[in-house]
Structure formats: C-alpha cells, structure tokens
Amino acid sequence: MRRKLLTLAAFAAGSAMLLSGCAPSAPAGTGADSSDSADDVTLKVWSWRTEDIEKYNSIFDVYEKENPGVTVEFEAFQNTEYNQILTTGLAGSDGPDIPMVRAYGQLQPNIVAGQLEPIDGKVDGLDEIAPSVIAGAVGKEDGKTYAVPLATQTLQMFYNKDIFKENDLEVPTTWKEFVAVNETLLANDVTPIALGAKDDWILPIFADIIGSGRYGGSEFEKKVLDGSATFEDPDYVASLQLVEDMKKYMTPDVVGVSYTDSQIQFTSGQAAQFPGGSFEIATFSTQAPDMNIGSYQVPLPPKAVAEAPVTPAYADGNFAINSKSPNKEAAFKLLNWFATPEFGQLVADDLNQFSAVPGVEYSDKVMAEAWDNYEKSKAPYLLLVNFRYGEPLGTAVLGQQVQKMLLGEQDAAGAASTLQTGISQWFTPTK
C-alpha cells in the first residue's frame, strides 16, 4: 500500500514537472534589467520584407556602430504569413521589440488591443513627415500616433525601355496612344501587360493605376468619405470597366498567373509593361540588374474626372514599439533614428524605397522618375488608405471581384455594387 502511494506521488510529481519544467525557459529578450543598463541591449525587429534581409542588416550595422552596446536583430517573415505572425507575436510573449506594422486600417486592431506604445512627443522629426503619410500610423479612435512611417509607395506603370525601342514605341501621353502601344505590342507578339491576377491583392492596385484618373482620385475620395458619392457612382464603375478592357493585353488566362510569375514575365523580357508599386523597383533591380526600366502615369481615358494623370500612393511599413517590450528606452532611440534624414537616405539608397522622411535625394533614375511623376499629381490608393478599417476590407472585396471580372463571371457594375455593400457594413460617411 505504501509503495503504491509512493508511486502515485512519484507520478504526480513527474507529470507536474513535465508541465512546469519548461516554464522558466522564456524566450530571449525578456531577460530583466536590460532597460537600466543601456549598454547591452538586443532589439528584435520584425518585418515582412524577406527580400531585404541583407540590406536591413547592413543598415542596422550603421546604427550599431553609432550606438555601441546595441544589437539589432532583424527577422523577416513571409509577407503572406506576416499578419498571423504579428497577431500571435504581439499577443504572446515572444514578440519583437520593434515590429514593422501595417498602415491605416490594418494597424487599428493592434492599437485597440493595446499592443503598441504611443509615440507622440517622444520621437523628434515626426512633425517633419507629411500628414498624409503619418495618417497611416494614427489610431482612428484616439488620434495618437503609434509608429514611424517607413516609406511611401507610389503606384504606376513600369515599362521595359528596350522593348519599347525595339517596337518603335514612345511613352503614351494620351489614352489613344496608350491603347495604340498595347495594340502594337500585341501585334508584335509581346505580352503588353504582366499581371499576376492569381494573387488578388495586386488587383485593386492595378485598378487604381488604370482608373484613378477616371474616377477622379482625391476629389472622389472626399465625396465617398462625406457620403455624397458611393462606389456605385458611374465614374467609379467606368474606372472598373477599364480594368476589364485591359484584359486582352494580359497573358491569356491571367487569373492563373501568380504575382511572382508575372514578375518573371516582366524581368525576363516576355512582357513589356508591369503595373505595380514602387516596392517593385528593388525587386526588379536584383532580379534583372541590366534591364532598362522606366515608369509612367497611365494617361487619362475619355471622360476622365481628373484633369491630369495621377500617381496613386500610400504610406507603407510602419515601425512601432511593442508595449510588452522590456527595452523601450532603446527602442525609442532606434525609432528616433528611423525619423532622421540619415536613415531616410539609407532607405532610399539601400532599400530603393521612397523614404517617409523629407529631404531625401533619389539618385536611382527609375526612382527619381517615379518620384517626380508622383510630386506632379498625387492621388490616394483609395481602398487601402480609407477602406481597411473594418471587415470586410475594401481591398479584399475588390480584389476578388476583379478576379471574377477577369474570369468573365462579373461585370464592372456588379463589382462596384458588391464593393459598396461590403464596405457599407462598417463604413458610415462623415459629413
């Protein structure tokens, strides 16, 4: 009997150990008293830019040199899984000190859940950044700023200069010329437009590149926000119709082409144009360093509301501070650095991105061209900037609808009304 009791005790103790034995082994970084000795701090930075790992490492080498004792550990996760990783990482105790967070609506859940540290008044240089860019880092409800924006992404049409030359083509300045360019390419057996329509996130981008001028960019934004127009507005529907009209210039069965496939199509010279964000510039220059790339704003189609062609844009990539971070002091110091022109110039030169910090020079020709176009006439990437604050996301709805349009299962009016129904579920105009 006693032996049995002993064994019982042994089992109980054993299983208890099994359960608790590993409890103390909390992940690195949560070690205590790292905040009071600023000498040896390791800051974990998370991002979704797997393609930039080496570049970020060299950027942080600069910071580490200037700030002895600080080690910046940069970790990048796959873009498509980043939301999940960030959600669990910030909810759990193994999160980063400084996460790169999404902008605008996709940032709100983290703010509402108290996972991020407000940074107003604690980061010098925040005031220098353009309000339209800061808007991506602000809490909708409390109006506080939660992150330092990294970059502005501009959306435009990229083209292969060599292919244009071979086919005697010029950058189109009118819609007629734009159509003629595509027809010529088609006749010469070059795919005019590379688009990875299998990945639906690229499609609202494409829709704005082609159609922002048609529906009237910023003007339409104001009207939709104050309720004097909806997405069922004939001008918006007409802009979506342009997307469908472009279908004949894409690869046959374009919905089967993945985003990466479309990149390869463009960089390998199989397609002449690529509608995309400025974030492509870095990818193109690594994948095809010898390629001659240019970019242009798609000309205004007939009956366009805007008076000049526009470049839609949005703020992308925000560096925030995890409210659970034990190294907040050091994290704020790094965040301050993110708002300096020094970092901004590194972003421009190393990452090939348009820095959010003003006063940065773009020596890269492709970048300079795109930036000049953007400075000439700006527009918001409407669905991303304003319509990701609730479920369903405007971009997600339109992405799927455009896919259906390209498959011939939906028309422009139907897509627009589905978009309106979707966002109406949470969006109420403010007069």
Partner 1 sequence: MSVTNTRRSRHIGITLSKRTGLVFILPALILFTVFVLYPLLTALSYSFFNWTGIVRGDFSVLDNYVTLFTKLPYRDQVPNAFFHNVLLFVGAMVFQNTVGLGLAVLLHRLKRFKRFFQTIFTLPYLVSPLVVGYLWSLMLSPLFGPVNFILKAVGLEEFAQPWLGNPATAIWVVVFVTAWQWVGFPVLLYGAALGGIPQEIEEAASLDGASSWQRFREVTFPLLTPAIGTVSVLTFIGAMEAFAIPYALGGSQGSPAGATDVLSLLFYRTAFESGASNAIGTSSAIATLLFVFIFGVAVFITWFMRKAERKLY
Partner 2 sequence: MASITPVLPTEADRILEEPRLDARPPKRRRGFSLKDATASTLLWVYALISIAPLVLMVSNSFRTTQEMASNPIGFPIAPTFSSYQKAWVTASFETYFVNSIVVTVASVVLSTVVSLLAAYAFARTKSKLFAAIEALFLSGLMLPVYLAILPLFFLLDSLGMISNLWSLILVYGALGIPFSTFVLASFFRQLPIELDEAARLDGAGSFTTFFRVHLPLVRPAIATVVVFRFVPVWNDFFYPLILIRDQNAYTLPVGITRFFGEYQTDWATLFAGLTLATIPLVVLFLLATKQIVSGLTAGMSK
Q: Which of 8, 57, 58, 92 binds partner 2 (CB under 8 A)?
A: 92
The DSSP secondary structure of 167-182, one letter per residue, reads TT-----SHHHHHHHH
Q: Which of 40, 81, 124, 183 binds partner 2 (CB under 8 A)?
A: 81
Regarding 13 and contact with partner 2 (CB under 8 A), the answer is no
Work out how close the CB of 271 gets to partner 1 at its nearest, in angstroms, rounded to a whole number.
Answer: 12
Q: Which of 88, 173, 286, 424 binds partner 2 (CB under 8 A)?
A: 88
Distance CA(326)–CA(322), nearest Å, equals 9
From 169-177, 299-307, 350-358, 386-394, give the range in contact with partner 1 by CB under 8 A.
386-394
The DSSP secondary structure of 146-173, one letter per residue, reads -EEEEEEEEEEEEEEHHHHHHTT-----
Distance CA(317)–CA(204), nearest Å, equals 18
Q: CB neighbours (10 Å) of residue 301?
A: 21
> Which tokens go with 142?
């409390």
Q: Which is nearer to partner 2, 6 or 368 (CB)?
A: 6
190-to-162, 170, 225, 273, 276 alpha-carbon distances in Å? 12, 16, 41, 10, 19
**158 and 273 in contact (C-beta within 8 Å)?**
yes
Regarding 3 and contact with partner 2 (CB under 8 A), the answer is yes
Regarding 99 and contact with partner 1 (CB under 8 A), the answer is no
Q: CB neighbours (10 Å) of residue 115?
A: 22
**98 and 321 in contact (C-beta within 8 Å)?**
yes
From 149-157, 193-201, 345-353, 359-367, give the range in contact with partner 1 by CB under 8 A.
193-201
- For residue 286, the partner it binds in partner 1, partner 2, none, with Cβ less than 5 to 8 A by kind, is none
- For residue 24, the partner it binds in partner 2, partner 1, none, with Cβ less than 5 to 8 A by kind, is partner 2
Q: Binders of partner 1: how many residues, by CB under 8 A?
A: 50
Expressed in angstroms, the distance from the first to the final Cα of the chain is: 81
Helix (H) or strand (E) holding 72: strand 70-76
Regarding 392 and contact with partner 1 (CB under 8 A), the answer is yes
- For residue 421, the partner it binds in partner 2, partner 1, none, with Cβ less than 5 to 8 A by kind, is partner 1
Residues 100-129, one symbol each (x = binds partner 1 by CB under 8 A, - = not), give: --x--xx-xxx-xxxx--------------
Q: What radius of gyration, in Å, describes the C-alpha atoms of the chain? A: 25
- For residue 93, the partner it binds in partner 1, partner 2, none, with Cβ less than 5 to 8 A by kind, is partner 2
Burial class (CB in 10 A: 0-12, 13-18, 19+), 139: middle
The number of residues in the chain equals: 431
Which DSSP letter does residue 26 get?
A: P
Regarding 23 and contact with partner 2 (CB under 8 A), the answer is yes
- For residue 429, the partner it binds in partner 2, partner 1, none, with Cβ less than 5 to 8 A by kind, is none
Site for partner 1 in 280-319 (CB under 8 A): none
What is the contact surface with partner 1 in residues (CB under 8 A)?
4, 7-8, 11-12, 14-15, 18-19, 80-81, 83-84, 87-88, 91, 102, 105-106, 108-110, 112-115, 197-200, 253-257, 261, 264, 390-392, 396-397, 400, 403-404, 407, 409, 421-422, 425
What is the contact surface with partner 2 in residues (CB under 8 A)?
3-4, 7, 18-20, 22-27, 50, 75, 77-81, 84-85, 88-89, 91-94, 260, 264
